[in-house]
A and B are shown apart, each in its own frame.
Chain A
Amino acid sequence: MRKIFLIFRKDFLVEWRSKQIFPTMFVFSLLLLLIFNVAFEFRSDINFRAVSAVIWITFIFSGLLALGRSFSLEKENNAFAFLLLTPVSRSCIYLGKLLSNVVMVLLSELFILPLFLLFFLLNAKGLSLSLTGEILPFLGVVVLGTIGFVSLGTFFSSMALNTKLRDMMLPLLVFPLIIPVVITSVGICSSILEGKPFGYYAFSLQVLVSFDIIFVLLCSLLFEYLIEDSGD
């Protein structure tokens, strides 16, 4: 547990001091929101399903952009080889990286959400936002969905980097696999915005939580096989 935290602290500090990924992700998300807004031309006739889709597409696209960096940074100066030399199991490295990626992606999402509210939801008819009724459940789903796509994203970014196609490969590998996250997260978010009762989206929530558990476990298990000792 302490090892996981140390790796998390290392990655987080590197990002905190270099400030490479964070601003890029933020501006990229902003541009995506702008493009969606211009393309959809929402006025007051807002479709909550479409708006939820907008926010999740923004999260996933900008999130994968950041994840692409998370291992390429290690490639410089061959840092990853040294990381492997430390007496830490491979699954710990994966979990540490997962944690730092989740925190970073969540932080930038936290900055994007108020702007999303401003751009898309402020003029919406029939929307009531209360802290316990809408905002907290919404944030909860954001956390769960983020864990879902970052778990596979972190895993495959280390694979994609070692292939010939590099960054091209990452979305190709991750997009088809995270379809359940997209379906459930968008569904739950739109249900929350529409003011549906909890029972309405309880099943989707179960699927989302199971997805998170299954793939965090499976990825940390398979990470041992992903990284070869020869470092090829």
Chain B
Amino acid sequence: MRKILFFLTFALMVIATWMTLFYAPTEVVMGHVQRIFYFHMGTVWAATVAFTVVFVASIYYLVKETAKWDTLAYCSAEIGMLLLTLTIITGSIWAKPVWGTWWTWDPQLTTTFILWVLYAVYLVLRSGAGGRGKKARYSAIFAIIAYVDLPVVYVSARIKRGISPVVFGPGGGGIDPAMMHTLLVTLLGFTLLFVLLLGERRRIMNMENALYARGGRGG
């Protein structure tokens, strides 16, 4: 199962890279730099999935109080953090030629930045909480509040008008079918990548815990 998932993810990521670079047509206005947009969307999508997993796992932990939900939430938060950092970096690279600036306080960017800070605090809280049970409980509570807070942050940031592109929904510009294919394959690829990484991270975490329980040096 692990091997199948690994090869499937690998194949999809290779195809996604190929499609991004060769299959998708060059965007008329923005040119080749627009191609980074596919990976930008891929990472932000997978990060959203990751933080939703954190949220759901945190609720389960508070209700059931079994350590496996806490492990799941923690591993997912770590990977989500990595993906979101990649989102911000790729977005910045895209924004420089298109908007003429590396960063601007547009609602989507503000929300993304606050999301990043919230999960940075989540990881700090885990390292500074103290005992195991307390760490798990406190971080679960914080994760739930943070996830509920985020839409409110977005709405309040919207009070100022934004410039991030709205691709879908009302006001969206529509999209070329070939671009759509590329986007879908990339999204699927990153979803699988997230699942793969999550599984691996949990395996490592469980090994660490097992070693720690056996009285190894542990960290």
Show the binding face of A for B, using Cβ within 8 Å: 152, 155, 159, 162-165, 169, 172-173, 176-177, 179-180, 183-184, 187, 203-204, 207, 210-211, 214-215, 218-219, 222, 225-226, 228, 232
With A184-B159, A222-B141 as known contacts, state yes or no: A164 contacts B129, CB within 8 Å.
yes
Docked pose: A204 CA to B152 CA in angstroms: 11
The docked-state distance in angstroms from the alpha carbon of A63 to that of B117 is 22
Instruction: Tell me which residues from 157 to 192 in chain B have a Cβ below 8 Å from any Cβ of chain A.
Output: 157, 159
A173 proximity list for chain B (CB < 8 A): 121, 125, 142
* Segment touching A, from B9-17, B29-37, B38-46, B131-139: B131-139
A sample of 21 cross-chain residue pairs with beta-carbon separation below 8 angstroms, ordered by A number, consists of A159-B142, A162-B130, A172-B121, A172-B124, A172-B125, A177-B145, A179-B156, A180-B149, A183-B159, A184-B156, A187-B159, A204-B156, A207-B156, A218-B144, A218-B145, A218-B148, A222-B141, A226-B137, A228-B134, A232-B131, A232-B133
Q: A203-B159, A232-B133 are in contact. Are A159 and B141 (CB under 8 A)?
A: yes
Determine whether the beta carbon of A152 is less than 8 Å from that of B117.
Answer: no
- Known contacts A159-B138, A183-B159, A176 near B118 by CB under 8 Å: yes
Residue B153 lies at the interface, judged by CB distance under 8 Å to chain A: yes
Instruction: Give how many B residues have a beta carbon under 8 Å from the other chain's beta carbons.
Output: 29
By the criterion CB–CB under 8 Å, are A177 and B128 in contact?
A: no
B146 at the interface (CB under 8 A from A): yes
0/1 per residue, B103-144, Cβ < 8 Å to A? 000000000001001100100110011110110011011101
Query: Are B114's CB and A222's CB within 8 A?
Result: no
B145 touches A222 (CB 8 A): yes
Q: Which residue of chain A lies nearest to B120 when distances are taken between CB atoms in the complex? A: A176
Tell yes or no: B155 within 8 A of A by CB.
yes
Q: Is the CB–CB distance between A180 and B145 below 8 Å? A: no
With A164-B128, A165-B128 in contact, do A180 and B152 touch (Cβ < 8 Å)? yes
Most A CB atoms within 10 A — which of B118, B137, B140, B155? B155
**A179 cross-chain contacts in B, Cβ below 8 A:** 114, 153, 156
A183 touches B128 (CB 8 A): no
Which residue on chain B has the smallest CB distance to residue A165?
B128
Chain A's nearest CB lies how many Å from the CB of B32?
36
Alpha-carbon separation in the docked complex, A162 to B134 (Å): 9
Q: A163-B130, A183-B156 are in contact. Are A177 and B149 (CB under 8 A)?
A: yes
Knowing A176-B121, A180-B156, A207-B156 touch, does A214 contact B148 (C-beta < 8 A)?
yes
Of all chain B residues, which has the CB nearest A178?
B149
A58 to B124, CA, bound (A): 26
CB distance from B180 to the nearest CB of A (A): 34
C-alpha gap A187/B124 in the complex (Å):
31
Would you call A226 and B141 a contact (CB within 8 A)? yes
B93 interface residue per 8 A CB criterion:
no
- Complex-state Cα separation, A65 to B140, whole angstroms: 25
Does B95 make an interface contact (CB < 8 A)?
A: no
Complex: A136 Cα to B178 Cα, angstroms? 58
Q: How far is the CA of A184 from the CA of B156 in the complex (A)?
A: 7
In the bound assembly, the distance between CA atoms of A177 and B142 in angstroms comes to 10
CA distance A210 to B153 in the complex (A): 12
Beyond contacts A177-B149, A204-B156: 18 other A-B pairs, Cβ-Cβ < 8 A, are: A163-B130, A164-B129, A164-B130, A165-B128, A169-B125, A173-B125, A173-B142, A177-B118, A184-B159, A187-B159, A207-B152, A207-B159, A211-B156, A218-B145, A222-B141, A222-B145, A225-B141, A228-B133
Residues of A within 8 A of B142 (CB): 159, 173
Expressed in whole angstroms, the minimum distance between the Cβ of B169 and any Cβ of chain A is 20
Closest chain B residue, CB of each to CB of A188: B159
A176 with B138: CB separation less than 8 A: no
| Cβ contact within 8 Å between B153 and A180 | yes
Q: Is B62 an interface residue (CB 8 A)?
A: yes
Complex Cα spacing A165 to B157, Å: 31
A155 CA to B148 CA, complexed, in Å: 15
What residues of chain B lie closer than 8 Å to A176, measured between beta carbons?
114, 117-118, 121, 146
